[in-house]
Structure 1
Amino acid sequence: MKRLTDWGRVAAPALLGAALLGALPALAQQTTGVPGSPEATTTIDGKQLPPPDPKFGGVIKDDALQSKPWWAPRVTPPKSAPNVLLIITDDSGFGMPGAFGGVIPTPTMDAIAKEGLSYTRMFSTALCSPTRAALITGRNHHSVGFGVISEQSTGFPGYNSIIPKEKATIGRILLDNGYSTAWFGKDHNTPAFAASQVGPFDQWPTGMGFEYFYGFVGGDANQWEPNLFRNTTQIYPFKGQEGQWNLITAMADDAIDYITRIHQTDPSKPIFIKYAPGATHAPHHPTKEWVDKISAMHLFDDGYEKLRERIFANQKKLGIVPQDATLTPWPKDILKPWDELSPEAKKLFIRQVEVFAAYAAYSDHEIGRVIQQFQDLGKLDNTLVIYINGDNGTSAEGGPLGTPNEVAFFNGVSEMPVEEQMKFYDVWGTQYTYNHMSAGWSWAFDTPFDWFKQNASRLGGINQNMVVSWPARIKDKGGVRDQFMHVNDVAPTILEAAGIAEPEVVDGIKQVPMEGTSFLYTFDEKNAKAPSRHKLQYFEMMGQWALYDDGWLLSTKVNRAPWQAFGPANPDPLNNQVFQLYNLNENWNQTDDVAAKYPEKVAELRTKFIAEAKKYQVFPLDASVAARIVAPRPNITAGRTEFVYTRPMTGLPQGDSPFILDASYTFTADIDVPQDGGEGVIVTSGGRFGGYGFYLLKGKPVWLWNLVDLERIKWEGTEALTPGRHTVEFDFKYDGLGAGTLAFNNFSGLGRPGTGTLKVDGREVDSKQMPKTLPMILQWDESFDIGSDTLTGVNDADYKPPFPLTAKLNKLTIKIDRPQLSPADIKALEEAMKEKARAD
């Protein structure tokens, strides 16, 4: 028997096993064993979680010999309840996987499609953590606080990135009904301001019903040296193996170990796993083996327009796309046609996409190893595999040219020149890049649709695809399903498949019913063409919005490309829109706008959108993007201007550490230098792709700013510190108005110049001006460290982590002076905005 992990495999393995009963809605109570005995088990009605303790059923006399012991039965799921492997990949559009016409080898997804069902109308929210919040809760993303990612959260219920207690996750429900539950990979649903060791941990996977977590917290991660956690403890298994160890493989290894451990401990206990690899979110970090395999295939030599046409033809051959469908024109106004690129640009872009494709193929291969383990243990027959391709469309956040460093994009460097990027050509995709490909490839990988991740009004941003297998239940092998469904439908489907009721109360808190609709009915061949049961669904992301109503789609015209994050935002995103209307029953891929023909339908659907928006916490609409990144949040630094540390400490995430961008600040370290001299990190935040470091190098004090790996500005003492006690200080005076200017959609106050001065024992030893500073973020997946450096260093030329401080740290004091807008500033900005509005 060939295995799922065989390269190039298309056919699925023969999956054996007796067919189980079809899934039922909440089954009648099932018990096993002698009541009161240690081996007794029972199912529960599931209305209250955790279930109330049963009444003691034994007999208690004065002495044990006259008494009868009794044990409460263990809670188990219904006998027919399947294992569930819920897979969701990242930033991957409809036209990426082979099962849906793509050219990148995805044999695991193809095998699941052949063994089970392919779904063409699985919809996302257009952005990563909002989709994932809807996925694990069965509710709309605004309903559970994830109108945007946590790093953009604001103080409104639909946008605060806090999943409410009255909306329990699928992990929690299955756990209390007797499942083992685990989460592997990306966790972008822990608030950025609650990700430190201070907690609270109720919004971490282990606090949301997942007994075991192995993965990273945040939107992206360096796959070579990730910010990796086991449960809530940071781990560093890659140390000593940098550039060889990769999280994509390590995560599969850990999942295989977990599955085996649970099986060997209790073979009867079903498992629920949420499996969320970092692929294919930037940085694109495959191994060299996979890059070489893809490069040898020459899949992309004729450019992104030809790739788009090839994918589209494949989709028609597969019957995925209607034969009469057409493509929208290539967007020449924002993406330069391939034939107009220079030879050097073509060479760079092909390298970018080959690394992306290798990352996708590599991830699919490792997913196959996890599925194979279920088969090797004899469990695959009763395992429900849900494999969703992408939490949104393909990302275009690298801009038209791509970038070797995504952190640069988030700081406004959206179009790095090709000649600058070519310096990274030979190391593209290795630990020395935080890379993203050209948006031209992203447009092609969203075929047959257009636009990208972030664009909630275009199918390229929200129309994913999915394959599902459950050998014991699904008999229509290789079937295709076109019913409309949304990621909030997945949790209700899993519950129905397991025969487990949705709870009414969890931890004493009355629950809000799930808002998704089970699609279990589509598993039966007789329902292959049945009407969708999910009739109405809104979409909204950063001021772009849409409404699906039983085949009709009202869309706002795209008014901002994803890389255009720093300009003024639409001040009235509800009304200041160009409305488009599509009949998806007749125009499958959103190419024929009929708004002018049906103005009454436009008005009707707009009214329905407003009703849905009010119902699900979508208001207030906010079209800002970058501005929300620096908005204040209730983290542990909120309102503080002084921080004092008296001993080494590492691993404080960016969202909970002192934020010094767009501000004046002073770092003062009181240290004792030993007789043989001092060396090592005093404090650092960020890493190789953007951040700062304060350290002793050969005894000399150094302050260094890493400006997104494009430039490094260094202040350095002239002499090594003598043994004994010293005070080293770095003082920075910022020349700007700060984040307050964002209230006026004006970024002129951010990333401004400033002057830094390095002092030793009160004496100035170096001073220089920075002509520009980082405006928005440091490297998100790196931490604030004192006394040593975790993960990557801010300057490879000076040191390699951990570079521990050999001097004794007595005290580190950080003082921050953030610019405040004066009444005159506010008046001037208001007048400037009025003048701009008049000019526009």
Structure 2
Amino acid sequence: MNIVKSVLRATATTATALALLAGPCALPATAQTPARPAALAAAQQAKRPNVIVILVDDMGFSDIGPYGSEIPTPNLDALAANGLRFTQFYNSARCSPSRASLLTGLYPHEAGMGGLDSIVRPGLGGFQGRLADRAVTIAEVLKPAGYFTGMAGKWHVGAQHGTPPKAVGFDRSMFQKGGTYFPDQPGKGRTFVTIDGRQARLDSPEVGKGEWYASDMLVDWTVRFVDEAKVAGKPFFLYLPFTAVHFPVMAPADEIAKFKGKYMAGWDQLRRDRFERQKKTGLIAADATLPDVLPEAYDWDKLPAADKERFDTIMAVYAAAISRMDKAIGTLVADLKARGEFDNTLILFMSDNGGNAESGPDGRTGAAPWGGKYSNIFVGLNWATLQNTPFRYFKHYAEEGGIATPLIASWPAGIDAKVRGTMVREPGHLVDVMPTLAELAGAKYPARFDGHDIRPMSGRSFAGAFDGKPLTRSVPIFWEHEGNKAVRDGKWKLVAQFGAPWQLYDMSTDRTETRDLAAAHPDIAARMTQQWNDWAAKSFVDPWPNKVDGGVIKGRLEGGKAPGKGKHGKGKRKRAAQAAAGA
């Protein structure tokens, strides 16, 4: 987006805001979403909710307490206990695509972000490396309805190509490069942040005081925006995309020390433990099957003691980053309560993709101390398998391990007491966030914006869940990333990796995708294949040219020992997954 278009967006937004502030604006029902006239009218008459959307980077489905983790997350536990947990909510398998879907209510290619925002393919509508003119953000929809809008964290949706936060509806913004944890951390692109469109040194006092840690610093900025909204007398929409737990994973040394030694039981046992907790709480069916690990995974019991110690430290760093993020969320909640804003603030917590197996089964560590500002921690395939319990595969993929995310919703004033602490089991996707927030805010999703036709929202509202109402969906949910693809229609899911045949699963009886029914139900597979083809043809899903974008999941231990069959491996090594060095 050029400077002229940025001005046009701001001018249009301001003009619309002046018109809408004269009175509430009803939200028309979308094709997928039946209107909730009584609830919507009540929401418009009462104080509209504040909204904080929290997005975690590269976190697996089971990495927090409410979803089965051994990592203590008391603050997220409390939000879940008094809110809602969604058991079948989905992202778009990768950083930039998921962020684009979340912010726009469109599928990634529709929003111009079929890949990372570094991928620009002229002439291909799905790879613009920026948010497309046919899309609007939640900030652009809520701002005209009188909301203060702000974001602090990782952006990664085209700032370098014309769509920084300031150009797409955010009043205030502070964004940084992914994987930034400390003010004096070395690395390309990590010497500065961007505050409201201008660069500031990462270690400058205006970014954070002293030797800050990113999770805490980002919450400080978020609370600052809360105060600015209060001064302006406006409800707020704030977007908090954490650095954690993207590589290179880092955490304060004292936090890491709390977890050292706690992972010496190994990934296999800890995975079984998480699975049992998931079944016990009802998150996963009691008769669910835990899939076999990939043949690339190592047998923990065959590892030398020194390798076990190394892997234990890698996971200790990761657990420390999760724990410290939870602590920062606790600070955010406490500050909201101190300002009298917690009860009427809807907090949504989710992840942008599944656990990350990039760097293969060996992972990486870099310079000592591991987890410090000079290290280079990648957790690798073995721990990513634990993180995605009970699912298969990882970030990049359309199997459940790549696309299933926790979703916690907290809103004391808006979630009916009778459903607090319960689970929402109907499938949902990031594209549903826009229609939900627009409905609750009494905001109008535009048909045109800045002189451009805007694509209709691809999702449906899940606001009915806050009243205990069942959620319905009239069209399937779709995925495509790097040639990996899937479609979810009711209980059926059709999924394929690039160049591989479709597989069909009955998610009502086999959520962990262990029994392929494509041969048994060729009619269903054919129908869903056509659904996916029809969606792709009208959604800017351009053909993916490469099976591998940067490598495969395999590697060598940093000491030079080869993995594979024998001492470390479970069997013959195969190409099993992409490990693109990115987002």
**Could you say which TM-score interval applies, normalised by the shorter chain?**
0.7 to 0.9
Matched, 1:313 2:272: no
Please state how far the C-alpha of 1:555 moved relative to its aligned partner. 1.1
Structure 1 contact 215–228 (Cα < 8 Å) conserved: yes
Say which of 235, 238, 243 aligns to 1:278. 243
Cα drift, residue 505 of structure 1: 2.6
Q: Which of 281, 300, 310 is residue 348 of structure 1 equivalent to?
A: 310
In the other structure, the counterpart of 1:584 is 507
Unaligned regions of 5+ residues in structure 1, if any? 1-30, 49-76, 195-199, 406-423, 559-572, 629-708, 711-775, 782-840
The answer on whether the counterparts of 2:104 and 2:136 sit within 8 Å (CA) in structure 1 is yes
Deviation of 1:110 after TM superposition, in Å, equals: 1.0
Conserved 8 A contact 1:584-1:590:
yes
The residue number in structure 2 matching 1:129 is: 96
How far 1:256 sits from its partner (Å)?
1.7
1:361 aligns to what?
323
2-side partners of 1:504 and 1:482: how far apart?
A: 32
Give the whole-Å Cα distance in 2 for the aligned partners of 1:531 and 1:187.
30
1:205 to 145, 165, 186: 165
Q: Check the 8 A contact 1:544/1:623 in 2, yes or no.
A: no
Return the alpha-carbon distance in structure 1 between the equivalents of residues 27 and 454 of structure 2. Answer: 10
1:604 equivalent in structure 2: 527
Moved more, 617-626 or 171-180: 617-626
Q: Please tell me whether the aligned partners of residues 275 and 389 of structure 2 are also in contact (alpha carbons under 8 angstroms).
A: yes
State the 1:578 CA deviation.
2.2
Question: Aligned runs of 1:395-544 on 2, under 5 Å?
Answer: 395-404=356-365, 424=367, 426-456=368-398, 458-475=399-416, 476-525=419-468, 527=469, 530-533=470-473, 535-544=475-484
Cα distance in 2 between the residues matched to 1:503 and 1:79: 23
Q: Offset of 1:122 from its aligned partner? A: 0.9
Aligned with 2:139 (options 171, 182, 187): 171
Quote the residue 2:10 is aligned against: none
Give the helix-richer structure, 1 or 2: 2
Query: CA contact under 8 A between 1:238 and 1:245: conserved in structure 2?
Result: no
CA–CA separation in structure 2 for the residues paired with 1:579 and 1:508? 41
Task: Write the distance in 2 (CA, Å) between the matches of 1:153 and 1:404.
Answer: 31
Query: Residue 261 in 1 paired to residue 228 in 2?
Result: yes
* Aligned mates of 1:329, 1:589 — CA distance in 2: 10
Contact 1:78–1:498 (Cα < 8 Å) also in 2: no
| Normalised TM-score (structure 1) | 0.58
Q: Is the 8 A contact 2:114 2:541 kept in 1?
A: yes
Whole-angstrom distance in 1 between the partners of 2:212 and 2:127: 36
SS at structure 2 position matched to 1:461: helix
- Please state how far the C-alpha of 1:483 moved relative to its aligned partner: 0.7
- Structure 1 residue 519, shift from structure 2 partner: 0.7
Please give the per-residue CA displacement for 1:649-681, whole angstroms capped at 9, x wherever unaligned: xxxxxxxxxxxxxxxxxxxxxxxxxxxxxxxxx
Question: 2: distance between equivalents of 1:547 and 1:133?
Answer: 19
d(CA) in 1 for partners of 2:299, 2:282: 28
SS at match of 1:588: coil
- The CA deviation string for residues 169-209 of structure 1, in whole angstroms up to 9 with x for no partner, is 111111121110001101010254x3xxxxx4xx0001110
The reply on whether 1:97 has 2:97 as its aligned counterpart is no
Could you tell me how far apart the structure 1 residues matched to 2:280 and 2:24 are?
48
Equivalences for residues 183-262 of structure 1 within 5 A: 183-192=151-160, 194=161, 200=162, 203-217=163-177, 219-224=178-183, 225=185, 226=190, 227-238=192-203, 244-262=211-229
Contact 1:349 1:438 in 2 (8 A): no
Q: CA deviation at 1:43?
A: 2.6
Structure 1, residues 33-89: CA drift from partner, whole Å, max 9, x if none? xx99xxx962353899xxxxxxxxxxxxxxxxxxxxxxxxxxxx8653110011111
Q: Is the 8 Å Cα contact of residues 243 and 430 (structure 1) preserved in structure 2?
A: no
Kindly indicate whether the alpha-carbon contact (under 8 Å) linking 1:90 and 1:277 is maintained by their aligned counterparts in 2: yes
Alignment of 1:560-575 (within 5 A): 573=498
CA contact 1:243–1:431 (8 Å) conserved in 2: no
What secondary structure sits across from 2:254 in the alignment? helix
Q: In 1, Cα distance between the equivalents of 2:290 and 2:474?
A: 27
- The CA distance in 1 between the partners of 2:546 and 2:507, in whole Å, is 26
Q: Give me the identity figure in percent.
A: 29
Tell me if the contact between 2:465 and 2:471 (Cα under 8 Å) persists in the aligned partners.
Answer: no
> Quick check: 1:329 aligned with 2:292?
yes
SS at match of 1:152: coil
Which protein has the larger Cα radius of gyration, Structure 1 or Structure 2? 1
- SS state at 1:257 partner: helix
Query: In 2, distance between residues paired with 1:607 and 1:47?
Result: 32
Give, in whole Å, the separation in 2 of the partners of 1:372 and 1:589. Answer: 37
Question: Equivalent residue of 1:582, what SS?
Answer: strand
- One-letter identity of the residue aligned with 2:534: A
When the two chains are superposed, the root-mean-square deviation of aligned CA atoms in Å is 2.7
Structure 1 position 533, deviation (Å): 2.1
Structure 1 residues 279, 99: closer, same or farther in 2, change over 3 A?
same
Deviation at residue 293 of structure 1 after TM alignment: 2.2
CA shift, 1:152, in A, is 3.0
Q: SS of the residue aligned with 1:370?
A: helix
Shift in CA distance, 532/337, structure 1 to aligned 2, threshold 3 Å: farther
Shift of 1:588: 2.0
CA deviations over 1:308-337 (Å, ceiling 9, x no partner): 000001101111111000111122x21111
1:107 and 2:74 are equivalent in the alignment: yes
1:593 is matched with 516
Q: Work out the CA distance in 1 between the residues paired with 2:181 and 2:347.
A: 27
What is the aligned partner in structure 2 of residue 820 from structure 1?
none
Supply the distance in 1 between the matched residues of 2:502 and 2:100 (Cα, whole angstroms). 28
Q: 1:152 to 1:509 in 2, by over 3 A?
A: closer
CA distance in 1, matches of 2:194, 2:83: 33
Q: Matched residues in 1 for 2:84 and 2:27: separation?
A: 32
Query: Aligned partner of 1:84: which letter?
Result: V
By how many angstroms is 1:625 displaced?
4.4
Mapped to 2, the partners of 1:243 and 1:378 lie a distance apart of 29
Structure 2 spans left out of the alignment, 5+ residues: 1-16, 29-43, 552-557, 560-579
Pick from 555, 563, 567 the counterpart of residue 495 of structure 2: 555
Return the alpha-carbon distance in structure 1 between the equivalents of residues 118 and 395 of structure 2: 17
Query: What is the one-letter code of the residue matched to 2:377?
Result: N
Q: Distance in 2 between matches of 1:150 and 1:237?
A: 22
CA contact (8 A) 2:111 2:134 kept: no
1:116 equivalent in alignment to 2:83: yes
Distance 1:623 1:125 in 2: 19
**What is the match of residue 160 of structure 1?**
128
1:694-713 equivalent positions in 2, closer than 5 A: none
Give the number of aligned pairs.
515
Structure 2 vs 1, CA of residues 619 and 107 (structure 1 numbering), >3 Å: closer, same or farther? same
The structure-2 alpha-carbon separation of the partners of 1:356 and 1:330, relative to structure 1 and needing over 3 Å to count, comes to same
Distance of aligned partners of 1:452 and 1:258 in 2 relative to their CA distance in 1, 3 Å threshold: same
The residue type paired with residue 284 of structure 1 is V
- The separation in 2 between residues aligned to 1:257 and 1:500, in whole angstroms, is 24
Change (3 A) 1:86 1:438: same
Q: Is the 8 A contact 1:223 1:248 kept in 2?
A: no
Over residues 127-185 of structure 1, what are the superposed CA-to-partner deviations in whole Å (9 max), with x where a residue is unaligned?
Answer: 01100100000011110111110123322111122222231111111112111000110
Distance 1:376 1:243 in 2: 24
Residue identity matched to 2:373 = Q
Whether the 8 Å contact between 1:46 and 1:502 is mirrored in structure 2 is no
Could you tell me how far 1:607 is from its partner in structure 2? Answer: 1.4
Higher relative contact order, structure no. (Cα contacts within 8 Å, ≥ 6 residues apart)? 2
Alignment of 1:283-294 (within 5 A): 283-294=248-259
| C-alpha displacement of 1:250 | 1.4
117 and 303 in structure 1: CA distance in 2 versus 1, 3 angstrom threshold = same
